[in-house]
Amino acid sequence: MENRNIAEPLIEYIKKRITISEEELTEILSYFATKNIKKKQLIIQPDFVARHRNYVIKGGFRAYVIDKKGDEHTIQLAIEDWWITDYNSYVFQQPATMFVVALEDSTVLQIDYTSEQKLKAANHRYETFFRMMAERSAAYQQRRLISNLTQTAEERYNDFLERYPLLVRRVPQYALASYLGMTTEFLSKIRNKKVRRKS
């Protein structure tokens, strides 16, 4: 890696999850590359294979699909210390179905699919790290699915606000509404109701 200082958040992220030596840390970081992305720039789009897994150093991203009516549906959001890609495309190396766009000028650390496979084959600690990430992602997606099936729109918003207050402040209202499965107008009503309760 050309500039280790920029990787400090990723280093902390890794150390929180696995026990790793300095030598191993240097090795895993050598497979990541820094990429600066402008606001509104796409890093993944349908019909092209997602070659990278992206760790957000600075900025924010939105992954979304467009249905046959032309409506957008937000699948994932990510800000600093989160990962984002089209996971189905990345894991199976097949054409993506999602758009992933920068919501702000952003910086990510990218690892490509081939490099990740090499790391996992070379050292069980690296394999453990990526497996833990996959498990956490699967658990999160399950919680989200259950939330969408069992909670009202207002309950989903309140739960998300409690868990991810920084994300709620950073992400545009249209993206948050789409992610939570409601219209922007309905999200505005919920937010206004909360404001009136406080006053």
pLDDT tens for the 199 residues of the chain, in order: 656 789 999 999 999 999 999 999 999 999 999 999 999 999 999 999 999 999 999 999 999 999 999 999 999 999 999 999 999 999 999 999 999 999 999 999 999 999 999 999 999 999 999 999 999 999 999 999 999 999 999 999 999 999 999 999 999 999 999 999 999 999 999 988 877 776 5
Q: What is the pLDDT of residue 5?
A: 85
- 2.40.10.480, 2.30.110.10, 2.30.40.10, 2.60.120.10: which CATH number matches 4-122? 2.60.120.10
Domain boundaries, the chain: 4-122
Angle at 106 between CA 35 and CA 175, to 5 degrees: 130
pLDDT for residue 195: 72
Residues with Cβ within 8 Å of 34's Cβ and at least 6 positions away in sequence, in order, are 1, 2, 3, 6, 57, 107, 108, 109, 110
Helix (H) or strand (E) holding 92: helix 87-92
| pLDDT confidence of residue 198 | 66
Q: Provide the b/e sequence for 21-39 (b: ≥16 CB within 10 Å).
A: eeebbeebbebbeeeebee
Residue among 181, 126, 133, 131 nearest 159 (CA): 181
- pLDDT of the residue at 161: 93
Task: Pull the structure tokens for residue 131.
Answer: 């497996």
CA 77, CA 79: separation in Å to the nearest integer?
7
pLDDT at 3: 67
**What pTM value is reported for the model?**
0.92
Inter-residue contact 111 to 6 (CB < 8 Å):
no
What's the distance, Cα to Cα, between the start and end of the chain in Å?
Answer: 51
Region for residue 93 given its phi and psi (left: phi exceeds 0; alpha: psi -120 to 50; beta: otherwise): left
Cα–Cα dist 104/11, whole Å: 23
- Give the count of beta carbons closer than 10 Å to the beta carbon of residue 109: 23
Please tell me the predicted confidence (pLDDT) of residue 192. 87
pLDDT of residue 50: 98
- Residue 26's pLDDT is 94
